Amino acid sequence: MASFSSYLIAILGITLLVVVHETGHYLAARFFGMRVLRYSLGFGPVLLKHQPKGSPTVFQISAIPILAYVQIDGMNPAEDNDPNDPALYCNQSVWARLLVILAGPFANYLAASAIVFGLYAVKGIPELDPNGPMIINYVHEGSPAAKAGLRPGDAVVMANGVPIHRVEELVAVTKDRAGVPTEYRIQRDGKLLDPIIITPIEQGGRGVIGITGGPTIRYTKASLPQLLWLSIERPFTFTLLQVQGIAEMIKRRSLEGLSGPTQMVRMVAEQAKHGWEDYVQILFAISVALGFFNLLPIPALDGGRALFLLFEIVSRRKINAKFETTATLVGLVVLVALIIFVSIRG
C-alpha cells in the first residue's frame, strides 16, 4: 500500500498538471487582451490572494489546494455583458475565443512532450532486451510471491529449471503447477539469490504466484532529433490508445477501465512509491489523458465549447446563449454524476 507521502506527491503532481492546463487558458486569454478576473489554486475559502499592480487578475490560494481554475470575464453566456468592452471574452473574434479554449489541452500536450524530452534525455530511449530476464513490476499483497519476499524490480531468471525472459514463459511454467512447490531463481540488484520455493495458487483456472511483470528494458542514448521526434510521437501514440479505449467501452457498452479521481490518485501514488521514473511516466500519461479528455465534444468541457465555436465559424452566427447555458449545465451534471459513479465503483 502506498504511504501518506506517496499520496501527497500524487495529489501535488495531478494538481500541477491542472495548473498547467489552466495556465494555458490564462496565457492565451491575456495574449488576446481578454480580462482574466481570477486565477485560483484550489477551491473553497480563500486563504491568500494577491492582485499585481495594474493587473485585473486576482491570484489566490484556497483552503482546498487541489486542482485550479481561471475565470475569464465574459465567458458566461447567461450574463449581461457590455458589447463595447473589448476585454470581454464574448466580444473577441471567434478565432481568438477558439484558441483560448484549445490552449488548455494544448498546454497539457506540451507538458507531456516536455516530460518525454526530459525523461529520455536523462535516462535514454527505452528498448526491450529480448535476452534479458523478466522484471517484476508489481507484487500483489498476500500472494505467494509476496510471502516469499519477492519485490518490484527483482528479475525472474528461472522457474522450475526453465529460463525466463518473457511474461508468457513464466505463465507457461506456472499455470499447471497450482499447489505444487516450484523452484524460482531470482536476481536482485545484479546478484543471483539462493533458490526460492514458491507454491502457486489457483486463480482463474490456472496457477499464479501473484506478480505483474515485463521484459528487461535497456536504455540507449538519444540524439536531439530523436528526442524532438519522440516528444511529438509518444503523446500522439498515447492519444490513439485513448481513442481505442473509448471505442472499446462503447463497443462493450461498459465503463470498465474508466478511472475516477480517487483511482487516479491511487495509481500515481503507487508509481511514486516505485521511484521517480515511474512517477514521471504516469504523470505523462495523465497529462495526455487530461488534454484528450478536455477535447471531447461534451458541453462543460473545452471540447464542447470548441464545438459551439466551430458551429459559429461555419454558420457565421453565434449559438443561442440560452441553449449553450442549458447544454453546459446538463453536461456538467452528467460529468459530475459519472465521476461520482466511477469513484464509488472503484
Those residues whose C-beta lies under 8 Å from the C-beta of residue 219, and which sit 6 or more positions away, are 123, 124, 125, 126, 127
Instruction: List the one residue out of 196, 199, 194 whose CA is nearest residue 184.
Output: 196
Based on the number of CB atoms within 10 Å of its own CB, is 295 exposed (0-12), middle (13-18) or buried (19 or more)?
Answer: buried
* pLDDT at position 342 over 70: no
Rounded to an integer, the average pLDDT of 92-99 is 95
pLDDT digits (tens, 9 = 90+) for 106-115: 999 999 999 9
Rounded to an integer, the average pLDDT of 131-145 is 88
Instruction: List the one residue out of 237, 178, 240 whose CA is nearest residue 209.
Output: 178
Q: Tell me what pLDDT residue 260 has.
A: 60
pLDDT digits (tens, 9 = 90+) for 7-65: 788 888 888 899 999 999 999 999 999 999 999 988 888 999 999 998 999 999 988 77
Q: Tell me what pLDDT residue 197 has.
A: 96
278 pLDDT tier (thresholds 50, 70, 90):
confident
pLDDT digits (tens, 9 = 90+) for 115-135: 999 999 998 888 888 778 889
What percentage of the chain reaches a pLDDT higher than 70?
93
What percentage of the chain reaches a pLDDT higher than 90?
48
- As given in the structure block, the three cell numbers for residue 100 are 483560448
Q: Tell me what pLDDT residue 1 has.
A: 55
Q: Tell me what pLDDT residue 258 has.
A: 62
Q: Tell me what pLDDT residue 259 has.
A: 61
Rounded to an integer, the average pLDDT of 204-232 is 90
22 belongs to the catalytic site: yes
Catalytic residue among 22, 127, 183, 324: 22
pLDDT digits (tens, 9 = 90+) for 55-76: 999 999 988 777 788 999 988 8
* pLDDT at position 268 over 80: no
- Where do the structural domains in the chain lie, given as residue ranges? 128-218
Rounded to an integer, the average pLDDT of 179-185 is 95
For the whole model, what pTM was predicted? Answer: 0.78
∠ CA 120-292-250, nearest 5°, is 120
Q: Which long-range contacts (CB under 8 A, 24 or more apart) does 262-269 make?
A: 262/343, 262/346, 263/342, 263/343, 263/346, 264/14, 265/7, 265/10, 265/11, 265/14, 266/2, 266/10, 268/9, 268/10, 268/13, 268/14, 269/2, 269/6, 269/7, 269/9, 269/10
From 156-160, 264-268, 314-318, the region with the lowest mean pLDDT = 264-268
Q: Tell me what pLDDT residue 161 has.
A: 93
Helix (H) or strand (E) holding 187: strand 182-188
| Alpha helices, H only, 32-143 | 94-123
Taking the C-alpha atoms of residue 198 and residue 159, their distance in angstroms, rounded to an integer, is 10
CA 297 to chain centre: 19
345 pLDDT tier (thresholds 50, 70, 90):
low
∠ CA 302-307-313, nearest 5°, is 125
Asked if residues 197 and 183 have their Cβ atoms less than 8 Å apart, the reply is yes
CATH class of 128-218: mainly beta
Cα dihedral 185, 190, 191, 193 in deg (nearest 10)? -30
